[in-house]
Amino acid sequence: MVDHVSKWSKENFFQLSCEKTKELIISFIRCHLPQLPEAFVDGNPITQTTSAKLLGVLVNSSPTWNDDIEELK
């Protein structure tokens, strides 16, 4: 999927910033997150993160709102 997004970006004159691009895996499985192969954009690895702010909402890798609620306190 990353290759598809990268290809689309080039075709539409959109430049991805590897420094700002992060990978957040969200899983509804209660045990450990699935291990996926490392993702690359133009040969540069994408950094994995466990939480990210998206449109003002803090999203984490598990389907809870704990991080967002803590930030509001």
Tokens 């609620």 label which residue?
A: 69
Is pTM, for the whole model, over 0.95?
no
40-67 per-position pLDDT tens digit? 888 888 888 888 887 877 777 776 666 6
**Res. 13: pLDDT tops 90:** yes
Q: Which residues contact 38 (CB under 8 A, 6 or more apart)?
A: 45, 46
Nearest alpha-carbon partner for 22 in 58, 48, 42, 2: 48
Number of structural domains in the chain: 1
**Nearest-angstrom CA–CA distance, 38 and 16:** 17
The boundaries of the domain holding residue 41 are 2-72
**48 and 21 in contact (C-beta within 8 Å)?**
no
**Res. 14: pLDDT tops 70:** yes
**pLDDT for the residue 37:** 81
